């Protein structure tokens, strides 16, 4: 077990720390403090081991505190802590780009590095607009997202995302429209992928009629919507979306910040669902959550639009990048995480555990208030009926009680969400099931 390095502060509920996405009143009443981690478990300030059923926030799928990553990071910090990202490079990031593009579907051949999923959203969307300008079609500026989509919290992601409460305080500052979501009432309690769904993708035709393809740069979707509560794409949906984007010369961006690195069973959602996008956004499990890092992978066609042999030697063709793009320490963490991913067989582990997760969740069917159970690979969600008109109440109460019972589970909207580490044991998943059964049976 890992020793806590920071003494629990008796005043952890101090309001000096403005917490992200946190209901402050509930937290003040019942602070939840994590001081350590060990494999698939989080360790609380009172020394309890709590099963991490969301791999942190979908990011630590290979288990916590991997020594391979810790050692690579420590080594890197003593060798090259920082290297200027613009106009210079270092070996780690080049190697990482090569390995990532070798792992990704073949058409994705170039990697641009960011520091988060939100920055990956901004980056891919800016590349999309710039690409059409480079191609002499500057009016292609509008973006199409999807209702219930989540692409992080920067302005582009907020504008293209489709979870109402995340948008209402901020509005929409880029030229965005939205496809309908893919959650159909008739698919409730489907195990894995529902069937069909072409008609949902066909809504893109209406948006093209409305805005005209000459004004649309890109469609951005999560292959499987994570934050909205694991909405699994019906079997024909993504293929149809790809065909329509091709037909209308619209770029297709997959936000694989959650689905990347074995979460849906294969290395990427693009592999699981057999549809290749023009750009793929990554973050989270890219470093197994240990150091912030994101990436955007693009096709050679997109990259080549920015390569102009006639450009003067000192001219920059894509004026975009972050101080910490391809940070040496993050690159070292990502390379070590990729080693773990490959050598410890995360894809095989994910495929092998998926039926157990499916059973652990669908085995709860029939308990009160559950209106839907969804799953794909090592991701799943339970959806709850509203209480007194409030859809958020039951997942919140269930989540807080689960934590007291030894299970960290993420509540979001009207769902509880699950994405356990690929290193979980069958016993871990069984215990998770039992805690959930007990807590949900007691819900009002």
The residues that touch ligand PXG, with contacts defined as CB under 6 A, are 57-58, 116-118, 121, 150-152, 222, 226-227, 255, 257-258, 283, 410, 412, 417
Least spacing, CB of residue 136 vs ligand PXG, in Å: 31
> Cβ of residue 304: shortest distance to ligand PXG, in angstroms?
26
Distance, CA of 226 to CA of 191 (rounded, Å): 16
Residue 200 CB partners (closer than 8 Å, separation 6+): 179, 180, 182, 184, 234, 237
Q: In this complex, which beta carbon is closest to ligand PXG, that of residue 327 or of residue 410?
A: 410
Give backbone dihedrals phi and psi of 410, rounded to 5 degrees, phi first: -85, 130
We find the least distance from the C-beta atom of residue 54 to ligand PXG, in angstroms, to be 7
Nearer to ligand PXG, 57 or 351 (CB): 57
Q: Which is nearer to ligand PXG, 26 or 345 (CB)?
A: 26
Nearer to ligand PXG, 119 or 397 (CB): 119
By C-beta, is 142 or 410 nearer to ligand PXG? 410
Cβ closer to ligand PXG: 254 or 305? 254
Select 200 or 258, whichever has its Cβ closest to ligand PXG.
258
Q: Which residue's CB comes closest to ligand PXG?
A: 117
Q: Taking the complex as a whole, how short is the minimal distance between the CB of residue 256 and ligand PXG, in angstroms?
A: 7
Least distance (Å) from ligand PXG to the CB of residue 433? 20
The two beta strands, 294-299 and 279-282, are: antiparallel
Shortest Å, Cβ 335 to ligand PXG: 19
Closest CA to 378 of 222, 232, 253: 232
- Nearest Cα neighbor of 244 from 173, 171, 334, 144 is 144
């Amino acid at each position: 077990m890992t020793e806590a390095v920071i003494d629990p502060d008796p005043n952890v509920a101090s309001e000096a720390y403005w917490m992200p996405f946190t209901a402050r009143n509930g937290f003040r009443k019942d602070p939840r403090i994590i001081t350590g981690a060990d494999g698939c478990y989080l360790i609380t300030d009172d020394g309890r081991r709590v099963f991490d059923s969301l791999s942190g926030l979908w990011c630590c799928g290979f288990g916590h505190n991997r020594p391979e990553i810790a050692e690579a990071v420590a080594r890197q910090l003593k060798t090259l802590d920082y290297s200027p990202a613009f106009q210079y490079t270092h070996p780690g990031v080049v190697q990482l780009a090569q390995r990532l593009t070798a792992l990704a579907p073949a058409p994705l051949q170039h990697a641009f590095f960011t520091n988060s999923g939100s920055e990956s959203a901004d980056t891919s969307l800016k590349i999309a607009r710039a690409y059409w300008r480079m191609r002499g079609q500057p009016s292609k500026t509008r973006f199409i997202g999807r209702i219930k989509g989540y692409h992080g919290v920067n302005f582009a992601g907020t504008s293209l995302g489709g979870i109402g409460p995340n948008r209402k305080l901020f509005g929409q500052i880029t030229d965005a429209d939205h496809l309908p979501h893919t959650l159909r009432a008739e698919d409730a309690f489907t195990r894995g992928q529902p069937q069909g769904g072409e008609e949902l993708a066909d809504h893109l035709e209406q948006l093209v009629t409305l805005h005209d393809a000459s004004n649309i740069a890109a469609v951005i979707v999560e292959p499987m919507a994570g934050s909205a509560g694991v909405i699994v794409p019906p079997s024909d949906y993504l293929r149809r979306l790809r065909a329509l984007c091709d037909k209308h010369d619209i770029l297709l961006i997959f936000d694989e910040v959650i689905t990347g690195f074995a979460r849906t069973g294969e290395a990427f959602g693009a592999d699981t669902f057999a549809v290749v996008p023009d750009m793929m956004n990554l973050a989270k499990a890219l470093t197994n959550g240990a150091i912030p890092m994101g990436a955007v992978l693009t096709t050679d066609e997109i990259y080549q639009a920015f390569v102009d042999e006639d450009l003067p030697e000192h001219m920059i063709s894509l004026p975009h990048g972050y101080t910490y793009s391809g940070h040496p320490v993050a690159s070292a963490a990502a390379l070590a995480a990729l080693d773990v991913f490959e050598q410890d067989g995360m894809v095989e582990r994910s495929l092998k555990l998926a039926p157990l997760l499916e059973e652990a969740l669908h085995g709860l069917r029939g308990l009160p208030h559950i209106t839907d159970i969804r799953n794909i690979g090592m991701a799943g969600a339970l959806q709850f009926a509203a209480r007194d008109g409030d859809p958020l109440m039951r997942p919140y109460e269930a989540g807080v009680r689960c934590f007291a019972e030894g299970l960290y589970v993420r509540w979001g909207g009207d769902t509880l969400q699950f994405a356990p580490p690929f290193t979980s044991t069958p016993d871990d998943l069984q215990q998770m099931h039992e805690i959930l059964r007990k807590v949900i049976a007691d819900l009002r």
